Structures are given as structure tokens and as C-alpha cells.
Structure 1
């Protein structure tokens, strides 16, 4: 089962990656990271130092290895901070000097080597100075920061890092030896750069924990000994439904480098598996990152005198906007397939304000946990009782959103439960006749026989007031595949979305 799973995901990754071109704790004193390994000796014969003939150019010696072309760079370790070197002690008691940004010197080089072997896609790693970096994610998809000391960026660098991530790039960070000074300062710097977003603990159903290896627990080390098993430690910042910034407060880089005498670190094998998954995730979502960088914007037609249909989207404490252009694409499809005039602008709704009663349809989606305030739940209940309609879907099939929505809708209607919507219901034929649907590859892999629309709802006075799908539709509306999403196929998602709008208009 695991072999088949890896084969399918590796094949999916290959096709998706073709466009790519180019415990909190302090560090114990004298923590050893190890100097770089010595180069292997070159086996050359003495006589080979002279060319056999006086040619105008010296040819390659017979046993001299031809250097293959360098693979494209996947990840770059970023130089940062003070020019002052630190002193470390290796496992033999020998002192050496190192820069704080170096961390475990072989970390990303070992990781890209291991990932290339596993994934069958060859990439390289290097060290860079941001002052000499183009800022193009196609040149370097991932920037990697590590260290022990507090980190900070000037305003120009913050702007460049934001533009890099918004353009499709990724940032990885990890606290070497679990150094809290680095971890806390990096989180604060990211808050400044992405003031409209925040780090969230990545749930266990996040694709980064399952896109190659299935990871549910990792072993934490201290002083070279395993002390406990913990949940995977990654936190992330979302751009759309792409996790674009990753941070670990425990050391994973030393595990990539194969170092075992670590403090506040993840066991090397677990760290390597986690790192390979991170590589796989970023490669698979590279195309989506480029797509989201070019957000589609539709403008209202102020000259339109006919009645408009405006769709509201509910903002909540989770990742509430994972498909920035999904609603706009759906409304465009409604315009193309019906006589409805629609506003090409989504209205963001704050339930606590209660100013959305004029809207015929509300939409809620997202990743992560959320909750309605008492005031917001009451406003939504009055809106639905007055004839409004709510559609909800769990973006990418996110389990945390699914749990939250089921809990919160009982807060809105304590005496009512979500019930399966039968295929005979009018919503499946309000415009398009829907009997069977296609799902995304991951759903097909997990449920090969599933071809029916799995929708639930709540009726009030014979009319659907709430429609919910635990499988994603918003990604289908947006039109760009999410490699590890659990959802409806794009064509069927749009067809049902149009039916939904028509049903809301006519009821």
C-alpha cells in the first residue's frame, strides 16, 4: 500500500514540477556542529600531470573525472547577521570557528541529495547573500534561514522577502539547537513582513506530513538521546491555500546533516523524512504559487442598471481566503451560462457586524479551526431564518475546518442537524443535471468507487438554508489544481456552483 502510494505521488510530482526552471530552548555552550567533511582524495598517477603531446590546449587526463553539469538550485541557505564568527567544539574536542547562519554546514546539501534520490528529481543547494539574489522564485524556489542568535531584517529586505513569497517562493526556517532567541525573533520578523497573516500550527492532515512519508510522530532528542515522541513541529504561513513559510522551533537541520549529539533536535531519520516531505510539497505546489501570484481582479460595471447578484464570503479566524479568485471565477461562469447579471466583486462579510442581510448567498471556506462569536452566530441564524442561504466547503478537504464547521453550525441551529441531500433534490438540476461527479486524484485513490456528490444540508420551511461539502469545491472554481487536495473536479465544481447560485436566486 505504501509503495503504491509513493509511486502515485512521485508520478504526480514529476508532471507538476516540469515547469520549474531553475521545545524551545537555548543552545548549550560549545554545541558541536562539525566542520565540513574533508574532500575525498583524488587518485591520480604522477605521470598524468604532463600531457602526452605538445598540443595547444591541455586535454583531460585519462583518469580525470568529467564534471557533470550542476543541477538547478532548489534551496539556498541565506547568510545573515553579524560578521563575527563563533567557536564550536567537534566530537573529538577540536575547536573550530563558524558563522551563526551556517548551523549544521551540510544540512541542505545532504537533504537535496537524499530528496533527489527518493523523488527522482535532481536539484542542488547553495549558500547566498540576499544582496546578490534576483528575488525570482524560478531561480531559487526556497530560501533557508537557521541560527541561534536573534535575527532581524532591514525594511528593504523585508519588502524583498514579501515580494519573493507572494511571487511563489518559499521560506524555511529552523532554530538550530532549538534556540529560542532565533525562533522568537524570526516569528516577529515574519509578523512584520506579513502583517495580514500569522503562523499557525500545521495540522496532522496537512499534505506536508503525508506527501511522501506518512508522519504522525517524531522523536525529540536532547544531548544525543531520544527523550520523547511529539507531534511534527512545523508551523506555517498560508498564501492562498499554499503554505509558503515554514518554521520549526526544534532543530531539524542537524538531522539532515546526520549529527546525533544535538540539543532540542529531531532524531536524524525523522528529520530527514520530514525534510524530504517539505521538498516534495514545495515542488508540487510551485505551479500553484506562480498562479496565485497573478491574482485575477474583476471590476464592477457601474453602468449596469440591471439587478446584480452579489456573493458574500465570511471572514473568520482560520485561513478564510484560500482561493482568492475562486468566487470571481464562479460568478464569471454564472454570467456565461445564464442571463444573470453579477457583480464581479466579492463582498467580505464580518458576521459580528450583521450588515449582510441584503445578500442572497453567503460562502464560508478555509483551513484550520475557527469559531463564531455568540453575536455572529445569532446574526447568521436570523439571516438564514429570513430566507438567506449559506454554502460551506472544507478547502482541500481540511479536517480542522470540517470539525469547526460542524460544531459551529450547531451553535447557529442547536435543534437541527446536517442531513445528506438526496440526488432527487432540485439543487442538482436547477440548471445542470448532476447525477455523478468526478473527484480529484487523491479522493479517487482513497475512494476508488466514489462518484456521487456528498453534500449535506439544513432545510427551513422546505428550502435549503445551509449546504455543506466536506470535499473542496472552491479550488475547482479557481481552476488551478492543488496536488494533494480532496475535492471535486473543476468541471463538476463549476456546474454545481452555477446550480447553487441559480437555486439561491430562485428561492
Structure 2
């Protein structure tokens, strides 16, 4: 694992002016190309320092082989990855790669990235024995894993069945609201539940009857270091992906919860 990035976040306020004006045309929903290449489709681009190409944060998404074969790993891609990278560049002094990456567990470059994102693991990750060993080694070497967007007890059980093989003899711990991860940059007053945008006008923030309470669980190492955060019964990635689709959704969920929480998680992971 490469050395962790030394980062200092110079914060701006969380008011609407910090994000600029809402632009409903910025991120239009569109068909994903089958090869998972992307165009920026309105997300600003920027240059990084050519002399220090590795001294940047790159958002890395894990491609896994879910048992259903539905490609759940690609949910919200590429919009969420592009938007979150842009907001990190805009709202902090962190040097950010404008181009997110997709990684497989058998990719030797995996260990060059200290932070990986896993989405929709509720149908299982399809981990082979060698995948379990690689993921365990990645985490033990200092890698941090951010898990997001799965709902209800059946999906939790599918995910847990896979991930307990990575953490034998350990159990995930529910993070209390007073844990620093909820306050390290932005001071969150609750553990947010962020719904997919299609639930916006339903009056509900949960997608299943057994998913009314958001859970933020974590795995820790023997010294108390947080190695994986699991965001269950919430959809942080949709808050990033859909920021330009609906102004109400942007102000209620993207601006208020999804970006502050994502920045908090990243900052905590990179500094602990």
C-alpha cells in the first residue's frame, strides 16, 4: 500500500452558495455505455500537477461478481463518482484526480489506492477464496473500504455472509452518533437516511418496510482503527449521482447529507 496521502481540508460553509447554484442540466440521467467508459456530461474537468501525478486522491470503485450477475457494482456509475470527485475538488484543498477508476480484486493496482467504494452488496459480493484473502490483505495493509446502498435484513444477511469471511472472529459495530466520523469536518446532527430519488415525493426516506432505520456499522482492527464503514438502509451514492436532477432532492439530501457525510468518511479514513 502506498503511503497515505497527507491532506488538510480547508473548509467552506455548507450553505447553498458553497456548492454554487443548482443546475438541473448538469447531470442528466443517461444510458451507461456497455464498456463502462464515460463522458463527463457537464461535470467540470481540471488539471492536476504533472510533476506529482500520484499525489492526488482518486475515487476508486470495486467491481465485484455479485451472485445475481446483474452488475450491481456499477449502480450510479459514473455520475456519482464524477460528482463526488468534483465536489471534493471544489469544497476542499485536497488534490483530486478528475477521473475515477474501477478496480477488480485481482488487479495489482488495487494496493495503490488507499480508499475503495463498494455499492449495492445486498445480493452478495461473489467472493472467491482468493478474493477474500486479497481483500483481507488490502485492509490489513491500511486500505479503507466504504460500503453503501443496500436495504433491509435479507440484503444485510447476504452481505454479512460474504464479509464475515474477510473478518473472521470479528463482528461489525454500530457507530454511535457521537463517533468522530459524523463530526470530523461537517457536524452532522443525525445519522442520515438518504433515499433514492424516486422516493422523493413519496414522503418516505426508506425503500423497504424493514429498512426504516439507517445503520452505520464498522469493522475495527485490534488497535481500534476503523477499517470499513457500512452504510445500510441509506443511499449516499444517489445523493451524489442525482444532485442535478431535482432541486428539492439536491437541497434536502445531496447538499445537506450526502456530500458532508462522504467528505467526513474520506477525511476520517485518510487521517486515522
| TM-score normalised by structure 2 residue count | 0.67
Distance in 2, matches of 1:311 and 1:323, equals 14
Residue pair 2:123, 2:159 contacting (<8 A) in 1 also: no
Q: CA offset at residue 298 of structure 1?
A: 6.1
Deviations 1:469-504 (A, max 9, x none): 11211101112579xxxxx93230111001111112
Task: Say if 2:241 is the partner of 1:494.
Answer: no
Q: CA offset at residue 505 of structure 1?
A: 1.8
Q: Tell me: CA distance 1:300–1:415, structure 2 relative to 1, closer, same or farther (3 Å).
A: farther
SS of 1:391's equivalent in the other structure is strand
Distance in 1, matches of 2:123 and 2:85, equals 26
Q: Which runs of 5+ in 2 are unaligned?
A: 1-28, 67-71, 196-202, 247-251
2:165 to 393, 398, 411: 411
Task: Say if 2:182 is the partner of 1:428.
Answer: yes
**Aligned ranges 1:112-123 → 2 under 5 Å:** none
Q: Which position in structure 1 is the counterpart of 2:76? A: 323
Q: How many residues align?
A: 215
Task: Say if 2:143 is the partner of 1:388.
Answer: yes
Task: Say if 2:236 is the partner of 1:473.
Answer: yes
Q: Which runs of 5+ in 1 are unaligned?
A: 1-164, 169-193, 198-291, 483-487
2:47 to 284, 301, 323: 301
Distance in 1, matches of 2:238 and 2:231, equals 13
Q: CA offset at residue 388 of structure 1?
A: 1.1
Residue pair 1:332, 1:344 contacting (<8 A) in 2 also: yes
Distance in 1, matches of 2:207 and 2:129, equals 40
Distance in 2, matches of 1:365 and 1:166, equals 19
Task: Say if 2:129 is the partner of 1:374.
Answer: yes
SS of 1:356's equivalent in the other structure is helix
Distance in 1, matches of 2:56 and 2:39, equals 29
Q: Tell me: CA distance 1:299–1:422, structure 2 relative to 1, closer, same or farther (3 Å).
A: same
Distance in 1, matches of 2:125 and 2:42, equals 27
Q: Which position in structure 1 is the counterpart of 2:60? A: 312
Residue pair 1:392, 1:469 contacting (<8 A) in 2 also: yes
Q: Which position in structure 1 is the counterpart of 2:224? A: 462
Deviations 1:191-217 (A, max 9, x none): xxx9669xxxxxxxxxxxxxxxxxxxx
Distance in 1, matches of 2:208 and 2:258, equals 19
Residue pair 2:193, 2:205 contacting (<8 A) in 1 also: no
Distance in 2, matches of 1:400 and 1:446, equals 11
2:109 to 355, 367, 372: 355
Q: CA offset at residue 443 of structure 1?
A: 2.9
Distance in 2, matches of 1:459 and 1:346, equals 27
Distance in 2, matches of 1:297 and 1:399, equals 36
Q: CA offset at residue 463 of structure 1?
A: 1.5
Q: Tell me: CA distance 1:392–1:445, structure 2 relative to 1, closer, same or farther (3 Å).
A: closer
Q: Tell me: CA distance 1:399–1:477, structure 2 relative to 1, closer, same or farther (3 Å).
A: farther
Deviations 1:307-346 (A, max 9, x none): 2011211101232111111122112222222211111111
Q: Tell me: CA distance 1:390–1:294, structure 2 relative to 1, closer, same or farther (3 Å).
A: closer
Q: Tell me: CA distance 1:328–1:419, structure 2 relative to 1, closer, same or farther (3 Å).
A: same
Q: Which position in structure 2 is the counterpart of 1:94? A: none
Q: Tell me: CA distance 1:296–1:381, structure 2 relative to 1, closer, same or farther (3 Å).
A: farther
RMSD (CA atoms): 3.3
Q: CA offset at residue 348 of structure 1?
A: 0.8
Say which one has the larger Rg.
Answer: 1
User: Quick check: which one's strand share is greater?
Assistant: 1
